Amino acid sequence: MTREPHSREPLHAAALNQLFVEARTYNGFLDRPVTEDQVRALYDLVKMGPTSANQSPARFVWCMTQDAKERLAACASGTNGEKIRKAPVSVVIGMDLEFHEHLPELFPHTDARSWFTGDQAAREASAFRNSSLQGAYFILAARALGLDTGPMSGFDREAVDRAFFADQPRVTTNFISTLGYGDPSTIFDRSPRPAFERFNRIV
């Protein structure tokens, strides 16, 4: 099959602002619902982001009922519990430590499953790396669809695993996030970002 030559142009400033420059992490959200259709559309973008050998190890639990949000909030620390309770949606981003069992379907070009069979350390490292990538895609996909997020790591991972992955012992939690339409009154002024010269080298 002949592929078309690259013809894409850089995104307009408005799109870059929405995705990066003006986008923020929100501590609270407006009283405006997020629908299941929106969640499904969001995931349909996330799944297109690249992962190593199309591993796609992330497993998402979308807490849309108040009961589910309460269960997740009970696993959180500090003020995170209240953020979870009040958000339209809260999300658990998990990672499947046996993702390799799906590789014959997801990466049929070669026997990629054999790369990880019997090597738990390699599976754990790869699941963490690639589910973290998918978590980042989740944040950007939400922004692209006009939504906002509040990713957080203040929680008891074992408690979240018991609450949401008890029936899937091969899956463990990476991080969690809230999702909705951000309330500007809940954020601080943007923290400084380092200049290129500070943390970069061109060699």
pLDDT tens for each residue of 34-54 = 999 999 999 999 999 999 999
Q: 10 Å Cβ neighbour count for 4? A: 5
Strands 148-152, 171-180: pairing kind: antiparallel
Residue 15 to residue 119: CA distance in whole angstroms: 42
Q: Could you tell me the pLDDT band of residue 92, with boundaries at 50, 70 and 90? A: very high
Q: Could you tell me the pLDDT band of residue 193, with boundaries at 50, 70 and 90? A: very high
Any idea what DSSP says for residue 86?
A: H
Residue 122 to residue 52: CA distance in whole angstroms: 12
Q: Could you tell me the pLDDT band of residue 2, with boundaries at 50, 70 and 90? A: low
Query: Could you tell me the domains of the chain?
Result: 29-184 (3.40.109.10)
In this prediction, residue 54 carries a pLDDT of 98
Question: Among residues 166, 153, 163, 150, which one has the least CA distance to residue 84?
Answer: 150
pLDDT tens for each residue of 129-186 = 999 999 999 999 999 999 999 999 999 999 999 999 999 999 999 999 999 999 999 9
Question: Among residues 44, 61, 55, which one has the least CA distance to residue 130?
Answer: 55
Does pLDDT of 1 surpass 70? no
For the whole model, what pTM was predicted? Answer: 0.95
Q: What is the mean pLDDT of the chain?
A: 97
Between CA 117 and CA 134, with CA 114 as vertex, the angle to 5 degrees is 80
Cβ–Cβ < 8 Å for 89, 178: yes
Q: Which strand (E) or helix (H) includes residue 177?
A: strand 171-180
